[in-house]
């Protein structure tokens, strides 16, 4: 094989190599698909939904987050309720943050009462939308920023439900 053929081959191959590298970088550091597993986020998310995980987003109250639970050694999808440094509790089915009742427009079913929790400075208190069955901060405790892999608000599957989710 002569040198000109090698140069031509490399020149033809270069765009494909660049595309593969860009895809790898995007999936590793920016966004990647994630699958909802189980009914803990019903009715807003259903088992089998495919979401886009944003690894660069800031975390705010009511964001849906993807967590790598060290305690369970599995990935969870939950909603953020209390931010670092806040106090959260549930009395008579009402959720209080820093002593004020919040309007819980995402939870379905009755939220069982729980004692006040002060969220550590590097952590978040999360709950699933399907309160009676969700395994979340009420039982597992708060999750650190390092355990949260990112936020998700875009459903890509099923295609008939494609779009933003809140």
Q: From the candidates 40, 123, 134, 137, which is the catalytic residue?
A: 40
| Percentage with pLDDT > 70 across the chain | 99
Average pLDDT over residues 67-84: 94
Question: Is 137 part of the annotated catalytic residue set?
Answer: no
- What's the burial of 9, exposed, middle or buried (CB within 10 Å: 0-12/13-18/19+)? exposed
Which ranges of 56-162 does DSSP label H, i.e. alpha helix? 137-140
111 to 7, 96, 126, 132: CA distances (angstroms): 66, 12, 13, 7
Query: What pLDDT digit, counting tens, does each position of 129-154 carry?
Result: 999 999 999 999 999 999 999 999 99
Q: Which domains does the chain have, with CATH numbers?
A: 3-164 (2.10.109.10)
* Structure tokens, 97: 């943050």
The pLDDT of residue 8 is 84
- 3-state class (DSSP) for residue 147: helix
Mean pLDDT of the chain, nearest integer: 93
Question: Is 8 part of the annotated catalytic residue set?
Answer: no
Position 36 pLDDT exceeds 80: yes
The pLDDT of residue 148 is 96
The pLDDT of residue 2 is 83
Q: From the candidates 78, 123, 134, 137, which is the catalytic residue?
A: 78
């Amino acid at each position: 094989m002569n040198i000109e053929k090698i140069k031509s081959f490399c020149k033809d191959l270069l765009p494909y190599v660049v595309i593969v590298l860009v895809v790898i970088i995007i999936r590793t550091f920016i966004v990647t698909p994630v699958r909802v597993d189980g009914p803990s986020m019903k009715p807003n998310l259903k088992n089998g939904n495919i979401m886009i995980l944003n690894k660069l987003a800031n975390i705010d109250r009511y964001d849906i987050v993807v967590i790598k639970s060290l305690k369970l050694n599995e990935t969870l999808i939950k909603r953020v309720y209390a931010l670092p440094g806040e106090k959260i509790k549930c009395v008579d089915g009402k959720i209080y943050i820093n002593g004020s009742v919040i309007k819980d427009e995402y939870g379905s079913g009755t939220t069982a009462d729980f004692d006040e929790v002060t969220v550590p400075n590097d952590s978040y208190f999360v709950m699933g939308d399907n309160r009676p069955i969700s395994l979340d901060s009420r039982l597992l405790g708060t999750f650190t920023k390092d355990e949260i892999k990112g936020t998700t608000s875009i459903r890509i599957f099923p295609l008939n439900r494609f779009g933003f989710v809140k």
